[in-house]
Structure 1
Amino acid sequence: MPLTPLDIHNKEFGRRLRGYDEDEVNEFLDQVIKDYESIIRENKELQNQMLNLQEKLNHFSNIEETLSKTIIVAQEAADEVRNNAKKEAQLIIKESEKNADRIINESLAKSRKVSLEVEELKKQASIYRARFRTLVEAQLELLSQDGWDTLESQQPASQISFTEQLQRG
């Protein structure tokens, strides 16, 4: 167990013949007591400072550890957000491509349908023109026949209808 200033102060030395000067020894012991007390005080202050510094160091170590963990979590969250954004962008692109393909296919189908309808209308118009031409030619031929002259000279009493004469003629 270490010496205390009180131990030094209470220390009694045995007396012998031709021993040391008692006043000198007491003065020296008083000086040792003062120095020893000063060293003990300084040691306690240094220990207190060391404890304070150790507490601060622990505090800053905890802060550093917390910050490191926070940075790691933030980095992971950022990576996750980035990956999710990439996935979402890819889904949007795929959906857009599907929609574009669908729209193109629908447009092509409508275009083909319209094209077929136009062709059908052209055919119908051509058939109509041919029938109309045939009808007009038949009417012109009827008008140029001699049967009209005889119709004009006949008596109205006969009452033959115009349609019947056309059918005969």
Structure 2
Amino acid sequence: MPLTPLDIHNKEFGRRLRGYDEDEVNEFLDQIIKDYEAMIRENKELQNQVASSQEKLGHFTNIEETLSKTIIVAQEAADEVRNNAKKEAQLIIKEAEKNADRIINDSLSKSRKVALEVEELKKQAAIYRARFRALVETQLEILMQDGWDSLESREPKGIEA
């Protein structure tokens, strides 16, 4: 068991002839008591500081573990968001490609339909032109016949000029 300042203070030494000076011994013991008490106080303060530091260390260790777990969770969430974004982007691209293919196919179909209609209109225009030419030629032939000259020289009956 360690000595206490009270043990040092209460220590009695036996007396002998030609012993030490009692006042010097008592002064020295008083100095030892003061120093020893100071050491005990400093030791207690250091123990309190160590306990406080250990408590803080435990607190910071918990914070570090929590932060590590949080970082891992955040990283996993970020990876999941990134993967979901990639999947969504791929779906959007596929949908856009499908829409582009549909638009191209619709455009090609409409283009073929318009080309067929243009060809049909060209045929109809050619037929109309041929019929109109035939009609004009027929009318011209009628106008070129000799019977028209005789009509021009005659005056209508009952109408005098």
Given the two structures, how large is their TM-score scaled by the length of structure 1? 0.68
Contact 2:9 2:30 in 1 (8 A): yes
Q: Distance in 2 between matches of 1:142 and 1:120?
A: 32
Task: State the shift of 1:125 in Å.
Answer: 0.8
Deviations 1:72-105 (A, max 9, x none): 2222222222221221122122212211211221
- Distance of aligned partners of 1:29 and 1:143 in 2 relative to their CA distance in 1, 3 Å threshold: same
2:131 matched to 1:127? no
- Structure 1 residues 135 and 110: alpha-carbon distance in aligned structure 2, compared to 1, 3 A threshold: same
The amino acid that maps onto 1:8 is E
2:12 equivalent in structure 1: 8
2:48 corresponds to 1:55: yes
For residue 39 of structure 1, what is the aligned residue in structure 2? 32
Q: Which residue matches 1:74?
A: 67
Deviation at 1:31, TM superposition (A): 4.5
- Kindly report which structure 2 residues correspond to 1:1-169, keeping only aligned pairs within 5 A, or say none: 5-6=9-10, 8=12, 21=17, 24=18, 28-145=21-138, 148-149=141-142, 153=147
d(CA) in 2 for partners of 1:39, 1:146? 152
Distance 1:37 1:86 in 2: 72
Q: How many residues align?
A: 144
Counterparts of 1:116 and 1:71 in 2: how far apart (Å)?
Answer: 66
Cα 1:34–1:142, aligned 2, differ >3 Å: closer, same or farther? same
SS at match of 2:12: helix
- Structure 2: runs of 5 or more not aligned: 152-161
Q: Indicate the RMSD between aligned Cα atoms, in angstroms.
A: 3.2
Counterpart CA distance in 2 for 1:128 and 1:120 is: 12
Distance verdict in 2 for CA 1:139–1:5, change over 3 Å: closer
Deviation at 1:141? 2.5
How far apart, in 2, do the equivalents of 1:7 and 1:130 lie?
139
Structure 1 counterpart of 2:38, which letter? Answer: E
Contact 1:8–1:33 (8 Å) recurs in 2: no
Identical columns (%) = 8
* 1:31-75, Cα deviation, whole Å (9 max, x unpaired): 444444433333222111110111111111222222222222222
Counterpart AA for 2:96: I
Check conservation: 2:9, 2:29, Cα contact below 8 A: yes
Structure 1 gaps of 5+ residues are: 14-19, 156-169
Deviation by residue 1:120-166 (Cα, 9 ceiling, x = unmatched): 010011011112211211222233348951797488xxxxxxxxxxx
